[in-house]
Chains A and B, each alone.
Chain A
C-alpha cells in the first residue's frame, strides 16, 4: 500500500528511534504535523520560537549523543533556525532539521513564505538536501541521520516541499546507506600510533588536551584509562568538559582564554601535546606564534580538516578518538607495564603544575554584602553534588560555570562553544531535560542571554520541564563590560541593561515560581528551596555587577601572558563611580 510523504516521514523517524521532535507548524508542513498528531510514538514539543526548537534539539543531542530533531515551516520558520544550525555546525552536534518548502512547481517563483532553505543553510550544515520526489524521501531521511551522527557529527537539513509530503509512494525504509563519497575513518594508522607511543614514553612534560570530539566519540573511559596509565595530566577545552573527572588528581580543568593559570602554563611549557578530539581553536591557543613553543604535537581527530589547520601536528592520527585511544593504550601496555617508573619520571612535571596551581589558584573574595557570581556556582556544585546536567548561556557566567562547576561525567556540561550563542542555554536545558525527565537540570544564565530566548518559559511551563534557571543577574552584558573595562577605558557602550524586567514577576506570569537572593546569606537557602521544587523554577541572584572573570588571556595575547586580576587603573572613564551608582540603583522597576 502506498503512503503519503507525511506518513513516510513519520514512519522513517520511528525507524530511526526518534522519540521527540521540537518545532512549530506552518502552511507547508501541516500535513506532516497532522500525521504526527495521530500517533503516539513520537512526541511533538511545540516551542515558542523556532530558534528555541533548534537549541532544544541541540540540548537533547548533547545530553544523549543521539540526533536531535527539529521540524519547522518554510521561509521564516527556516530562517529562525539558522542560528541553531550554525551553532550545531561549530560544535559538531548531530542535529537533523526538517524544513517545509513550497510545492515543487512553485519553487523559484517567490511564492508565499518561500526561501532557498538549502542555499541559506549550505555553509552552516554538514549536509543538506531538497527532496524533489516523494520516492526519495525515505532514503534521504536515512542518509540524513547517518551523516548527522557518524564521522564528525553535525547538522543536516532536509527540505521537504509541500507536495512531497502529500504525494504517495511505496514505503520501505532502507537498511543500508550507499554514499560513495562519505566514508569516515575510524581506525588510526598503526604506524602513526606506534610513533605516538614512542613520543609518549620519551616525553617529560606531556599534556593531554581534550576537546569536544572526545564526548561525541564516547571516549571518557578510554581517556581515564589512558591518563592513569601514562600519568599524563589532562586539560579540557570548554567543549571537552566532562570527558575527564574535574576532581581527578590528574585533571587541570579548563584551558584557554579563561582557563586555569596552571593549565595554560602547562600547555606553554609542555614538551608533548596529545590533542584528543580538539581543534586548536584561537580561544585555546592565544597568539599562535607563541603557542606551546617546545611541544611536539600528537593530534588525534576524526576530521582531517582539523589537523594541521592552526598548529602543526608532528604525528597526525586521523580516526575515532575512542578507537585510537584503545589502540594506543593496548600498545603502551605492551611496551610499558611499569606505571611506577613512569610516575617517577613525571613527578617533577606534576609537581611543577601543582606549584603553578598553588601560586595562582582560581580566586574571588566573598564578603557579607554583595553576592559574588562564583560563590553561587560553587554553592550550586556543592549542594547538587554534581548529580545533574548543567546548560549555560554565553558570557562571564559561562566561564565561571566552566571554572567552578567541576563536572565529572560526560554530556553533563552543555554549552555553546564555537559560535558562542547567547540564548542557547535555556532551550538547550529544556532539550536535555526532555531527554532525562528525572534528572536535575540547571540552566546557568545571565539576564542578557536569558532574554534572548525567554519565550521558552512557556514551553517549560506547558510541558512541565522542571529546569532550574540560575540567573546571575548583574544588570550588564557582563563579558562585554569586562572587555570595556580592560580595553576601552571603562566606557560602557551599550552594555548596561539594568535589572529589567522583574524576573520573579515574569516567571510568575508563566506560572513558574521564582526566588530572589540579594545578599550572600540568601544564596544557599534559595538554592536549597529551588532544587527541592518539583517543577521549573527561576532563581534571581543579584550579583556584583563589576566582578571580572580571571585568569584571562587578552585577545591576541600569548597563552602564558595571562591577566590574573583587575589592573589598578580600572574603570577610568567612570568619573565619580557614575556607572557603579547607576548599576547599584538598578535604574529600573526593581528595588535594589
Chain B
C-alpha cells in the first residue's frame, strides 16, 4: 500500500541521508521526496511517498521516530489529508499546427498554465493531486512530451471538523 509520510526534522546536514538510509537499508524505494524549511527556519519538513508492506512501513516509521534529529513523524495515509504536486511539462508543438490550440484547450480544462513558449514548444505548469497531474500528462502524451519534471508530492493533514463543513470528505481521496 502507498504511504505518504511527513517527517519534521532539524534543518541540518546529514539528516536527509539518515532518513533516506532507513528506506534503502530495507530495500525500499522512495517514490517521491520533497524537503523544505518550515515556518521555523531551523526545522525542515520532509514528505516521503513510498509503497510497501504495512508492517515494514510501520517499522520504518518507528525507526524514523528514533532518529535524533527527527522531531515528528506522521503517516498521513491514515488520516484525512490534502496532497499536491507540481509538474512542468515541455511539449512539442511543431509536428502539427493544431497541437498549439489543442494544448491550450487541455490546459484550460485542467487549469494548467503555459509558462514558457518557443516556436516549437510550450512549457506547461500544473498543480494538483496525483490524479489530476497524471490525467493531464496522459492527454498531452499524443502531442509529444519532450521533457517532464515533477516535484513529488507534498501533503498536509486536514483540520478535523472544520473541513467537513466546507467540502465533502470524498473530494480529495483520489
Contacts and interface: CB of A to CB of B under 8 A. Distances in A.
B66 A123 contact: no
A122 B18 contact: yes
Interface stretch (A175-183, A339-347, A353-361, A497-505): A175-183
A514 B105 CA distance: 91
A129 B59 contact: no
Contacts of A180: 10, 71
A577 to B, nearest CB: 46
Given A181-B71, A303-B66, A123 B17 contact: no
Given A181-B69, A182-B68, A123 B21 contact: yes
B71 A305 contact: no
Nearest to A118: B14
A181 B21 contact: no
Contacts of B68: 126-127, 147, 179, 181-182
B25 interface: yes
A312 to B, nearest CB: 10
B9 interface: yes
A181 B13 CA distance: 15
Interface string A101-140: 0000000000000000011001100111110000000000
Contacts of B17: 119, 122
Contacts of B21: 122-123
A181 B62 contact: no
Contacts of A333: none
Interface string B31-65: 00000000000000000000000000011001101
B139 interface: no
B70 interface: yes
A147 B71 CA distance: 15
Interface in B1-29: 9-10, 13-14, 17-18, 21, 25
A153 B89 CA distance: 49
B104 interface: no
A333 B121 CA distance: 80
A309 interface: yes
A305 B69 CA distance: 17
A449 to B, nearest CB: 28
B61 to A, nearest CB: 9
B18 A304 contact: no
A231 B62 CA distance: 34
Nearest to A143: B68
Interface residues of B, number: 19
A128 B21 CA distance: 14
Given A180-B10, A181-B10, A181-B71, A305 B18 contact: no
B67 interface: yes
A304 B66 CA distance: 9
Contacts of B25: 123
Nearest to B9: A181
Interface string B60-104: 001101111111000000000000000000000000000000000
Contacts of A128: 14
Contacts of B62: 304-305
Contacts of A309: 59
Contacts of B13: 130
A239 B68 CA distance: 25
B65 A129 contact: no
Contacts of A119: 17
Contacts of B71: 180-181
Which of A122, A126, A180 is the most central at the interface, judged by chain B CB atoms within 10 Å of its CB?
Answer: A180
Nearest to A152: B66
Nearest to B72: A181
Contacts of B58: 308
B63 A305 contact: yes
A97 to B, nearest CB: 16
A129 B63 CA distance: 18
A480 B7 CA distance: 44
A305 B59 contact: yes
Contacts of A123: 21, 25
B41 to A, nearest CB: 14
Interface in B149-167: none
Interface string A278-319: 000000000000000000000000011100110000000000
A129 B10 contact: no
Nearest to B24: A123
A128 B67 CA distance: 10
17 contacts: A118-B14, A119-B17, A123-B25, A127-B68, A128-B14, A147-B68, A179-B68, A180-B71, A181-B67, A181-B69, A181-B70, A181-B71, A182-B68, A304-B66, A305-B62, A305-B63, A309-B59
Interface of B: 9-10, 13-14, 17-18, 21, 25, 58-59, 62-63, 65-71
